[in-house]
Amino acid sequence: MPSTDRLVESARGPAISVRHPPRGDARGKLAAQVAWRIEDDIVRAGWPVGAVIGSEPTLIERYKVSRAVFREAVRIVEHHQVATMRRGPSGGLIVRAPDEVAVTTALGVYLEYVGVTIESILRARFIMESLAATLAPARITEDGIRTLREIISRREEADPTEFGSHHQLHHAIAAATGNPVLVLFVDVLNSLTFRYAAHQYATTRSSASPARRAQVAEEVHRNHAAIAEAVIGGDAARAQHLAAVHLEAMYEWMTAPTAADGSDRAGYEGTAASERTAMSERTAMSERTAMSERTAISEGTVAGEGPVARAGGRRIRPRAPGLGSGPGGTMPAGKLAETVAGRIRDDVARDGVPVGVVIGSESELLARYGVSRAVLREAVRLLEYHSVAQMRRGPGGGLVVTEPDPAATVEATALYLEYSQASVDDLRIVRDALELSCVDILIERRGPELTARLSALLDADAGETPGPVDAGHHLHMELARLTGNEALASFVRVLTAIWRRHVDSSRPTPAVGGGEPAADGCGQPVCEARTAHRAIIDAIIAGDRGLARHRMRRHLEALSDWSR
For residue 559, the one-letter residue type is L
> How many contiguous H segments (helices) and E segments (strands) does the chain have?
24, 4
Q: Residue 221 in contact with residue 270, Cβ under 8 Å?
A: no
The pLDDT, as a whole number, for residue 120 is 92
Give the distance between the most distant pair of CA atoms in the chain: 73
CATH architecture for segment(s) 423-562: Up-down Bundle (1.20)
Q: Residue 545 and residue 557: Cα distance in Å, rounded?
A: 18
Domain ranges of the chain: 2-98, 117-298, 326-401, 423-562
For residue 234, give the 3-state DSSP assignment: coil
Q: How many residues belong to the chain?
A: 564
Q: Which CATH superfamily is domain 117-298 in?
A: GntR ligand-binding domain-like (1.20.120.530)
pTM of the model: 0.77
pLDDT at 255: 67
Under-70 pLDDT residues of the chain: 1-28, 102, 155-166, 198-208, 255-335, 463-472, 505-525, 562-564
Supply the pLDDT for residue 502: 79
- In this structure, CATH architecture of domain 2-98: Orthogonal Bundle (1.10)
356 Rama sector, left if φ>0, alpha if ψ -120 to 50, beta otherwise: left
C-alpha–C-alpha distance, residues 517 and 525, integer Å: 10
What's the confidence (pLDDT) of residue 74? 92
Question: What's the pLDDT at 292?
Answer: 44
**Tell me, what's the pLDDT at 194?**
79
Q: Do domains 117-298 and 423-562 have the same CATH topology?
A: yes
> 324-347 b/e with 16+ CB inside 10 Å = b?
bbbbeeebeebbebbbbbbbbbbe
What per-residue confidence (pLDDT) applies to 299? 41
pLDDT number for residue 381: 79
Q: What is the pLDDT of residue 460?
A: 82
Reduce the DSSP state of residue 165 to 3 states and report it.
helix
Model pLDDT, residue 203:
54
Question: What pLDDT, on a 0 to 100 scale, did the predictor assign at position 89?
Answer: 79
Query: What pLDDT is attached to residue 464?
Result: 59
Query: What percent helix, strand, coil does the chain show, rounded to 5?
Result: 65, 5, 30
> Any residues with CB less than 8 A from the CB of 456 and at least 6 apart, and which?
none
Other Cβ atoms within 10 Å of 364 Cβ, number:
13
Centroid of chain to Cα 121: 10
Domain spanning 326-401: which CATH class is it, in words? Answer: mainly alpha
d(CA 496, CA 400): 31
The DSSP code for 445 is T
